[in-house]
Amino acid sequence: MTSNRLQRVGPTSFVAFLAGVAAVAGSYATAGFTPAFVVAPVAAFLTRTVPDAVLRFAIVTLGTFAGIDHFGQLLNLALATGLTTALLAGVSFLALVAGRRLDARLAPVGLVGASMWVVTVVLTGQLMLSLGAAVGGAVVVLVAELAAVMGEPSAATDSSVRRRVLGGVASAFGVGILSYLFGRSASGPAAVTSSVDGSGTPGGPDGSGPSSNDSQSVGDSTVTQEYLAEAERRTLDVDGLEGLVSDDFYQVDINNIDPNLRASDWTLSVTGSVEQEATYTYDELTAMGDEQRFVTLRCVSDKINGTLMDTDLWTGVPISRILDEVNPQGAFVMLRAADDYFEEFPVEALEDGFLAYGKRGGPLPRAHGHPVRALIPGHWGEINVKWVTEMEILDGPEKGFWERRGWHGTGPVNTVAKLHTTNRRDGQIQAAGHAYAGTRGIERVEVSIDGGETWADATLSDRLPAGTDESGEAAEDAWRQWEHTYENPGRRHTVVVRATDSTGTLQPREEESPFPSGATGWVSKTISP
């Protein structure tokens, strides 16, 4: 290679790299943080092909790492962004080299723009929304080319090379800033996000505020207010303890970038082994009912004293109404979703299920399955399929997304009492937390302050209500809070907590890690005086 050629390959690959960066930025400008963003399919591909053990490590161990939620997902997103940028930069390089061979000054600009568009369309399937990538890449090359010929129109002198590189850097920077601003607003419009409950997605932005047609109140708002007021009254008054309705509902899913569905485009089809197949639009579904229920969810990957367990008030339709219409013939169901997630479980569990389209009086937030998700009482979170689009009735069992990766998370939850809060005052120590046993219900929580030798009964919050009437019935699938205050023994001691469910079964003492069937064991904490 001659020194002249070397001199050109360096700057050319640098400009190609900048074009790749600008194409990613441009894609973000038009698509926002949605599946049409060019990084999204790459991130999804990585999650779905990564070895099971790595995915498990990312979820269980890196789920919350160094105090950062979804750390594993952030790493995946960073890797996907790097790979996508490298791919687009590589293609830009080829387009630049080919373009310079052509006898037209602007050929590299056109070729880079066109190739960025083609790659983005291939990855995302979006013709219009991929134009941002084309413009981003083309602008960088255009500015670099113009800068290079400023002053001396032909030669590849040192100074023209310098100007080309500087032009590329400056324009990539400009495209980046503009894209950031545009992309934030493009992350809507169907997205109803965290604004309802404040819970975000990995990395933060998962869309902008609610749009006009997806943000109306959902369910009878007087009923919502009554339910929430009742939950408030039943919440134990313990400093620092989360209420009976969660402030910040946990989020677990296989996506870096969640589906961004519009209620008006959504349908649910019921297929397979049924007497009568059926398809429901959002309006048809919501016309079938607007019941509100308190439901607790817990992820099978939750550590014994982890935080992947929360409760909220959901609005929706009992699935039995749909099953009455389609009349299932098979004993199993596969729920499928817009993110290609799928989970299978017995129809028996589905019959008690709920299709939720609202949460706490608003539409379902994007992060939690907008517009519709399943809630299956008493079962691990994973079969509570979000963004659900299909219910296929099967004659025999099949494996779901997580079961193919070795988990056993389609069954009922384990019983757990968690210890999340300790307060000290006037020579006393107060310990408190939440306990959950799915539809079995929590009957009793006991606390030991001598490492498990002797036990005292904790105070329990009243069960959350199943209705707003006077019937006094309890929600079938909700947690309770517990609290226990004792004399400060004035030395280091170990507090142990255990729950008993309403069938009289004590939470098992044997310690198991979350993989594959959910954590077991008693939570214990060492407390200094």
Ligand X SMILES: Nc1nc2c(c(=O)[nH]1)N[C@H]1C(S)=C(S)[C@@H](COP(=O)(O)O)O[C@H]1N2
Residues forming contacts to ligand X in the complex (CB under 6 A) are: 249-254, 297, 299, 337, 339, 341, 368, 381-382, 384-387
- Among 314, 415, 321, smallest CA distance to 371 is for 314
Q: How far is the CB of 365 from ligand X (least distance, A)?
A: 8
Place of tokens 């979006």: 126
Could you give the CA distance from residue 61 to residue 449 in angstroms, rounded to a whole number?
29
Looking at the DSSP bridge assignments, the partners of residue 269 are 279, 390
**CA proximity to 386, closest of 335, 352, 351, 317:** 335
Least gap, CB of 405 to ligand X (angstroms): 11
Nearest in space to 50 (alpha carbons), one of 263, 42, 457: 42
**How near is the Cβ of 260 to Mo ion at its closest, in Å?**
21
Output the smallest distance, CB 440 to Mo ion, in A. 19
CB of 492 to ligand X, least distance (A): 35
Q: How far is the CB of 147 from ligand X (least distance, A)?
A: 46
CB 32 within 8 A of CB 185: yes
Residue closer to ligand X by CB (options 96, 190) is 190
Nearest CA to 16 among 93, 86, 94?
A: 93
Say which entry of ligand X, Mo ion, none residue 214 contacts (CB below 5 to 8 A, set by partner kind): none
Cβ-based neighbours of 412, under 8 Å, separated by 6 or more: 378, 379, 380, 438, 439, 440
- Minimum gap (Å) between residue 19 Cβ and ligand X: 34
Q: How many helices (H) and strands (E) does the chain have?
A: 11, 21
Q: Given the rule CB under 5 A, which of 298-306, 411-419, 424-432, 517-525 is the region that contacts Mo ion?
A: 298-306
d(CA 397, CA 263): 31
CB of 299 to ligand X, least distance (A): 3
- 55 touches Mo ion (CB under 5 A): no
Closest CA to 479 of 444, 434, 514: 434
CB of 58 to ligand X, least distance (A): 13
Nearer to ligand X by Cβ, of 360 and 386: the residue is: 386
Residue 384 contact among ligand X, Mo ion, none, beta carbon within 5 to 8 Å by kind: ligand X
Q: Which stretch binds Mo ion (CB under 5 A): 130-138, 157-165, 295-303, 412-420?
A: 295-303
Instruction: State yes or no: residue 382 binds Mo ion (CB under 5 A).
Output: yes
Question: Which of these segments, 80-88, 214-222, 248-256, 461-469, binds Mo ion (CB under 5 A)?
Answer: 248-256
Return the one option of Mo ion, ligand X, none that residue 242 interacts with (CB less than 5 to 8 A, by type): none
What is the CA 333 to chain-centroid distance, rounded?
23
Please, which residue, 380 or 482, has the CB nearer to Mo ion? 380
| Ranges within 78-97 binding Mo ion (CB under 5 A) | none
Query: Which among 234-242, 281-289, 294-302, 487-495 is the span making contact with Mo ion, rule CB under 5 A?
Result: 294-302
Q: Considering CB distances under 5 to 8 angstroms, the limit depending on partner class, which of ligand X, Mo ion, none binds residue 109?
A: none
Spell out where 85-205 has E strands: none
The tokens describing 485, both together, are: 């205050």
Size of the site for Mo ion (CB under 5 A): 4
Type of residue numbered 433: G
By beta-carbon proximity to Mo ion, the closer residue of 294 and 341 is 341
Report what 251 binds from ligand X, Mo ion, none; CB cut-off 5-8 Å by kind.
ligand X
The first and second tokens of residue 495, run together, are: 């507090």
Q: Are 38 and 84 in contact (CB under 8 A)?
A: yes
Contact indicator for 99, 116 with CB cutoff of 8 Å = no
Q: Specify the residue, 247 or 275, whose C-beta has the smaller distance to ligand X.
A: 247
199: tokens are 């819970």
Q: Which residues contact 526 (CB under 8 A, 6 or more apart)?
A: 492, 493, 494, 495
Between 331 and 370, how does the x/- string for binding to Mo ion read (CB under 5 A)?
A: ----------------------------------------
Choice between 136 and 202, CB closer to ligand X = 202
**Least CB distance from residue 199 to ligand X, whole Å?**
8
Instruction: Using the minimum distance from each CB to Mo ion, give the nearer residue, 176 or 381.
Output: 381
Considering the complex, state which of residue 11 and residue 371 has its C-beta at the smaller distance from ligand X: 371
Decide whether 339 or 392 has the Cβ nearer to ligand X. 339
Rounded Cα distance, 50 and 490, in Å: 50
Q: Considering CB distances under 5 to 8 angstroms, the limit depending on partner class, which of ligand X, Mo ion, none binds residue 337?
A: ligand X
CA neighbor of 423 nearest in space, from 378, 485, 470: 485
Q: Does position 210 bind Mo ion by CB under 5 A?
A: no
292 with 224: CB under 8 angstroms? Answer: yes
* Rounded least distance, CB 418 to Mo ion, Å: 16
Sole binder of Mo ion in the list 21, 44, 191, 299 (CB under 5 A): 299
Burial classification of residue 151, based on how many CB atoms lie within 10 Å of its CB (0-12 exposed, 13-18 middle, 19 or more buried)? exposed
What are the tokens at 169? 């850097």
Q: Give least dist CB 300 to Mo ion, A.
A: 5
CB 392 within 8 A of CB 337: no
Between 93 and 250, CB nearer to ligand X: 250
Asked whether 418 and 305 are in contact (CB, 8 A), the reply is: yes
Q: Angle at CA 323, nearest 5°, toward 319 and 328? A: 135
Both tokens of 374, joined, read: 């399943």
Which CB atom, from 250 or from 266, has the smaller least distance to ligand X?
250
Does position 252 interact with Mo ion (CB under 5 A)? The reply is yes
Nearer to ligand X, 44 or 238 (CB): 44
**Among Mo ion, ligand X, none, what binds residue 246 when CB lies within 5 to 8 Å by partner kind?**
none
Give the footprint of Mo ion on this chain (CB under 5 A): 252, 299, 381-382
